[in-house]
Amino acid sequence: MQRRKLLFVTLLSCLAALPAASQQGKAPPITLYVEALTHNMAGMPDMGGMMGGMMSGMMSRRMGGDTGRPVYPTTHTGVTTGQYLDLALHNANKPGAEAADQIPAGLNLGRSLQLVPITVQRSDGRRPDAPREVTTQDMEIKIVEYWGCGAAVRPGQPKITTIKVRGGTFDPSKGPMGMQGFGVQTTGQVSRGITVADSTIGIRPGYVYWPNPRDGRKVPTGASLAGDHQISGDGIPASMHFQVSDASDFMAKLNLRTQGQLTDAVYLGWPAVAHGNAYFISAVGMQPLGQNAYQMTSWSSAEVPGAGAALHVSMSDNDVNGFLRRKVFLPGTATSCVIPRGIFAGGGGQQSGMPAMLQMSAFGPENFITYPPKPANPRQAWNPEWSVRLRTRSTASAFLGLDLGGMQNQDGNPQQPQQQQRRGMRGLLNGILGG
């Protein structure tokens, strides 16, 4: 009798715990994902129009939109100096139903943004007159890796890997199955790459997005996301009204300054960015070693090897804090770093036409808004109607080997005469294009 009573009490305890656990774990049926990016192409005041038009046109054509108009996603990598905003909405009540975000006046984009489905137009990227099968020659690539801030190369560096590729034939229409006769041989030290799970929202069925082929307006310079937002649409409750705080607004421009020739240590400096929790810098340069032989030199500000361009992406606060603990990221208090002396020397030579390219990211706060808010009592029923995830970043890019210390002040304003800037840009373009 006593044993049966004990079993009964145990069963009741388990059943009583089930509702609270399931309620706490229930996901809201509607989630809005907001990505806000500020990008600065350091020292390149005349590149914006040309580069922006080229990249926006390619993206728009891929998404089926008008040439030159931004289409989601725009915040993965900033192309030109400016502000970028991506909105993605999943409405489980009415998947794929159009929606609207009634925005604050400070965003300078009218009264609302229309979120609509986007269909990706797949293409193999080949011209109609392109040969169906391509023959490639043997190739050798030497990868040289450095890491850490400091004027001198640290002991134990660099790590060097040599990859020899035996040429073959490739049919692009067949993907990996179209590769015939290829062979790869790798020797040397290979760092285990540091990566982060991609938590951004791609183009998916059942989602709606802004910007889109119907509304591809560019975010005006100086626009503010802060203020009241009201999301409306079929299946969206009237309660989906929230406020974006100043701390979750577009971050300030990352005014990166670079000084020094490629044969010397290159100084990197920047004013602290408000609400920046961490920084990460990486650079890569390509240099010819001979016929079909190249050297790729990479460097990052991390204290450990393996970090690179894959970390210049939107990520959660948990991921950012993890990289800070592992000393992959610089702390939010950092305002300078030095690239070791001479590691990119030759990377911008006339033969290669490839100046070493640097990328920098400042990671801002990640903010979650849920309605109704999560109750303090873990046993209280909780059925959230909607949620918002908002992330902010500020990024910068620069060509190494160009002394940009005098080209712009800390506000990013050009200080040299316009004619001198144009002459420098012409030389840079000639190097890139091999002219």
pLDDT given for residue 371 in this prediction: 96
Residue type for 151, please? Answer: A
Q: Is the pLDDT of residue 231 over 90?
A: yes
Q: Each residue of 344-390: pLDDT tens digit?
A: 986 443 344 467 899 999 999 999 999 999 999 989 999 999 999 99
Residue type for 86, please? Answer: D
Q: Is the pLDDT of residue 417 over 80?
A: no
Q: Each residue of 261-307: pLDDT tens digit?
A: 889 999 999 999 999 999 999 999 998 988 889 999 999 999 999 99
pLDDT given for residue 422 in this prediction: 39
Q: How remote is the C-alpha of 168 from its chain's centroid?
A: 34
Q: Is the pLDDT of residue 57 over 70?
A: no
Describe the strand order of the beta sheet including 257-259 as a list of residue ranges: 257-259, 266-269, 336-339
Q: Each residue of 241-259: pLDDT tens digit?
A: 999 999 999 999 999 999 9
Q: Is the pLDDT of residue 48 over 70?
A: no
Q: Is the pLDDT of residue 102 over 90?
A: yes
Which value, in Å, is the radius of gyration of the alpha carbons in the chain?
A: 25
pLDDT given for residue 268 in this prediction: 96
Which is more confident, 8 or 235? 235
pLDDT given for residue 66 in this prediction: 45
The full DSSP string for 283-343 is EEEEEEEETTEEEEEEEES-SSTT--GGGSS---HHHHHHHHHTTSSEETT--EEEEPTTT
- HSE, CB side, 13 Å, CA atoms: give it for residue 43: 24
**Average pLDDT over the chain, rounded to an integer:** 81
Q: Each residue of 192-217: pLDDT tens digit?
A: 899 998 888 999 999 999 999 999 99
Distance CA 104, CA 363 (A): 24
CB atoms within 10 A of CB 255: 19
Extract the runs of DSSP E, i.e. beta strands, from 42-106. 82-91, 99-102
Q: Each residue of 173-188: pLDDT tens digit?
A: 777 777 777 788 888 8
Q: Is the pLDDT of residue 163 over 50?
A: yes
> CA dist 206 to 61, 71, 95, 98, 235, Å?
22, 17, 4, 10, 13
Least confident of 41-45, 108-112, 390-394: 41-45
pLDDT given for residue 360 in this prediction: 97
Share of the chain above pLDDT 90, in %: 60
How many angstroms separate the first and last alpha carbons of the chain?
Answer: 94
- HSE, CB side, 13 Å, CA atoms: give it for residue 242: 25
Confidence of residue 25 (pLDDT cuts 50, 70, 90): low
Least confident of 6-15, 100-109, 146-155, 275-284: 6-15
Give strand pairing partners of 337.
268
Q: Is the pLDDT of residue 427 over 60?
A: no
Q: Give 5-31 as a 3 state SS string.
A: HHHHHHHHHHHHHHHHHHHHCCCCCEE
The first and second tokens of residue 207, run together, are 């989602």
Specify the length of the chain in residues: 435
Q: Is the pLDDT of residue 85 over 60?
A: yes
Q: Each residue of 392-416: pLDDT tens digit?
A: 999 999 998 655 444 444 444 434 4
| pTM of the predicted model as reported, rounded to 2 decimal places | 0.81
Q: Is the pLDDT of residue 148 over 50?
A: yes
Which residues are CB-contacts of 129 (< 8 A; sequence separation ≥ 6)? none
pLDDT given for residue 190 in this prediction: 78
Distance CA 125, CA 62 (A): 10
Residue 425 host element (H or E): helix 418-433
pLDDT given for residue 133 in this prediction: 76
pLDDT given for residue 216 in this prediction: 93
pLDDT given for residue 408 in this prediction: 44
Percent helix, strand, coil in the chain, to 5, is: 20, 30, 50
Residue type for 171, please? Answer: D
The first and second tokens of residue 279, run together, are 């920084």
CA dihedral angle for residue 235, residue 218, residue 226, residue 333, rounded to 10 degrees: 120
Are 42 and 398 within 8 A, CB to CB? yes
Distance CA 384, CA 386 (A): 6
Distance CA 391, CA 368 (A): 9
Distance CA 406, CA 211 (A): 36
